[in-house]
Amino acid sequence: MALDILAMAPLYQAPAINRIGPKADPSKRPADPLKPLVLSRTKLTTIEAKRIMSILDEAIYKVELVTLLSYVASNREDMEGMLGEDIMRAVREHEDLCQVLLENVRCLKEKERQLQEQEEAEEEGWLRDRLLSIELQKSSLSPLTQQIKDSTKNVLRLLLHNPQAARLLQIQTQGRSAEAQNFIDSLIELRGFLFEKLLTSPMEARDKAQFLQDISRQNSNNQQIIDTLEKELAERMKNRNAEEELEDLDAVHREEKISLEELRQRHKVLVGEFAQIQEEREIDSKKRMEAEQEMVRMVRAATLIQALWKGYLVRSLLRSKKKQKRGKGKAKDKEKGKQKGKKKGKGKK
């Protein structure tokens, strides 16, 4: 679908949150309460998951190539030596089809505009003929659109059969429009989400959902206890009749405040640990993306250096061949001069 769209035209990073609350006593602290939120794997293991990622990677690669076809068409002289005659011929045919489609769309919009302007002033027969003409032109767009899709697939096929030309085209990122680059960035972001999703096994996803439900339920229960205690405290404070009673209520209140503070501290610890896990996952994801981008830059730089070196070797070979031809030409001229001198000497005798 992405290629069909392009043939016709173009993390959340949470803020750093420090751990909240005091460190709990290791003897009283539960063992790794946020373990369900940590992924146990960092690489894809199933064939199905690898195939899914492979298909998405291939789609991103094709989109990167397709979004540069307009740049190739507008820089034919520079790109012909890189891509070859067959690819450039297919690109020219694709560009011609796109121009025809754009011209037909422009004519169709112009006819519709004229029809709206003259709809009330003209006769019914003229309007009917004009509507029929517009409908016929609309129907002709569908085959043309299919031809453009086919030509896009043809250009991709040629590029995929010529990896060197495809790499040379892929590094021409300056020729891609901002809209196309945003689309590619969205696909890469989708790849990251999908990769993380595929790393999560069904059991891990179930444990994570269950853990979040338990946390939410515990928080709800704590809030109910707090509300109940506050209501009881309010009632007792309101209905006290003597001071020995005020002291009793005050002692109860202190105990309840201690219990409440313990509940709050436990909640803060859980929230802080959850935030820390999220921050670490974001950092790992960012480092992984930066490593991938650095690898891409290194590959592109190596490809460019190889291309420059090959060009230099070809030019050096051509210069040496020209020098050899010149030397042979001079030798032939000298030989011809000697033969002419011999002939003249024989004539005089």
Pick from 104, 323, 284, 256: nearest CA to 195: 284
Q: What is the pTM of this model?
A: 0.43
Residue 70 reports pLDDT greater than 60: yes
Residue 213 lies in a domain: yes
Residue 233 lies in a domain: yes
Name the DSSP letter for residue 173. G
- What pLDDT is attached to residue 118? 67
Residue 193 lies in a domain: no
* 259 pLDDT tier (thresholds 50, 70, 90): confident
Better pLDDT: 157 or 28: 157
- What pLDDT is attached to residue 84? 82
- What pLDDT is attached to residue 331? 66
Residue 255 lies in a domain: yes
For 228-238, write each residue's pLDDT tens digit: 988 888 887 77
Collapse the DSSP code of 325 into the 3-class scheme (helix H, G, I; strand E, B; otherwise coil) and give the result.
Answer: helix
With the C-alpha atoms ordered 43, 49, 52, 55, is the resulting torsion angle positive or negative? positive
Q: Phi then psi for 279, rounded to 5 degrees? A: -65, -40
For 111-148, write each residue's pLDDT tens digit: 777 777 665 555 566 667 667 777 777 777 888 888 88
The chain-wide mean pLDDT, for the chain, equals 76
* 6 pLDDT tier (thresholds 50, 70, 90): very low
* 102 pLDDT tier (thresholds 50, 70, 90): confident
Which domain does 279 fall in, by range? 201-293
Residue 6 lies in a domain: no
Q: Taking a C-beta distance cutoff of 8 angstroms, is the pair 98, 151 a contact? A: no
Residue 251 lies in a domain: yes
Q: How many residues does the chain have?
A: 349
Residue 267 lies in a domain: yes
Residue 96 lies in a domain: no
Q: Taking a C-beta distance cutoff of 8 angstroms, is the pair 148, 122 a contact? A: no
If you search the block for the tokens 């030309």, which residue do you land on?
165
Pick from 182, 166, 209: nearest CA to 65: 166
For 12-63, write each residue's pLDDT tens digit: 222 232 222 333 333 344 444 544 455 555 677 678 888 888 898 898 988 8
Give CA–CA dist 320/71, Å, rounded: 35
Better pLDDT: 89 or 136: 89
Q: Taking a C-beta distance cutoff of 8 angstroms, is the pair 44, 198 a contact? A: yes
Indicate the number of domains in the chain: 1
